[in-house]
């Protein structure tokens, strides 16, 4: 059974994951109209992943005797000055989500809710991955600078981007 405090905190995270999905969907659209198909497909996939993160939380809240709240979402940015700016925003957003997950873990310990604490470990590991991917992309974008040929290759390769982190090899 979830305490009201935990239920509220989890519902807040449900909103954040839903907003992440919308933010990345808007980025996918922007990349698509700018003609970068690879970046666009990558962002559509990121948007789907965020929806999965949200659904996982929704199911958990409902299964544990709470009621998942589907709330109004903040409107995302729909245009960007450059791809660099777009990926900077993506990285900043992932860092923000990680902070929010950390806060949630902290609350679960305060409430002595070890089931929720255990459930949240998946999100802790996921955020390590997401930050690493965002950082890798940003490094590549910074290397490319204004080089159109570089951007072409980046767009071609981004869908096959794999990033290995300490969490990737962590024991289950």
User: What are the residues binding Fe ion (CB under 5 A)?
Assistant: 17, 50, 53, 130
Find the shortest distance in angstroms from Cβ 98 to Fe ion. 9
Q: Among residues 97 and 141, whose Cβ is nearest to Fe ion? A: 97
Find the shortest distance in angstroms from Cβ 46 to Fe ion. 7
Q: Among residues 53 and 158, whose Cβ is nearest to Fe ion? A: 53
Find the shortest distance in angstroms from Cβ 128 to Fe ion. 11
Q: Cα(133)–Cα(159) distance, rounded to whole angstroms?
A: 12
Find the shortest distance in angstroms from Cβ 146 to Fe ion. 28
- Comparing every residue's Cβ against Fe ion, the nearest one is 53
Q: Among residues 32 and 126, whose Cβ is nearest to Fe ion? A: 126
Question: What is the distance, to the nearest Å, from the Cα of residue 37 to the centroid of all Cα atoms in its chain?
Answer: 20
Tokens of 86: 């777009």
Hey, CA dihedral for 45, 20, 16, 141, is it positive or negative? positive
Burial class (CB in 10 A: 0-12, 13-18, 19+), 149: exposed
Q: Cα(65)–Cα(144) distance, rounded to whole angstroms?
A: 50
Q: Among residues 135 and 150, whose Cβ is nearest to Fe ion? A: 135
């Amino acid at each position: 059974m979830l305490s009201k405090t935990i239920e509220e905190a989890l519902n807040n995270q449900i909103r954040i994951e839903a907003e992440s999905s919308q933010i990345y969907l808007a980025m996918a659209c922007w990349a698509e109209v700018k003609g970068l198909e690879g970046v666009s497909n990558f962002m559509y996939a990121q948007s789907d992943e965020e929806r999965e993160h949200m659904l996982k939380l929704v199911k958990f809240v409902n299964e544990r005797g709470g009621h998942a709240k589907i709330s109004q979402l903040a409107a995302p940015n729909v245009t960007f000055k450059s791809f660099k700016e777009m990926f900077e925003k993506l990285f900043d957003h992932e860092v923000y989500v990680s902070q929010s997950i950390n806060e949630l873990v902290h609350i679960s310990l305060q409430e002595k809710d070890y089931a929720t604490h255990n459930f949240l470990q998946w999100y802790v590991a996921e955020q390590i991955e997401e930050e690493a991917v965002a950082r890798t992309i940003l490094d590549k974008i910074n290397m490319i600078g204004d080089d159109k040929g570089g951007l072409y290759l980046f767009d071609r390769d981004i869908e096959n981007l794999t990033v290995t982190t300490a969490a990737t090899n962590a024991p289950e």
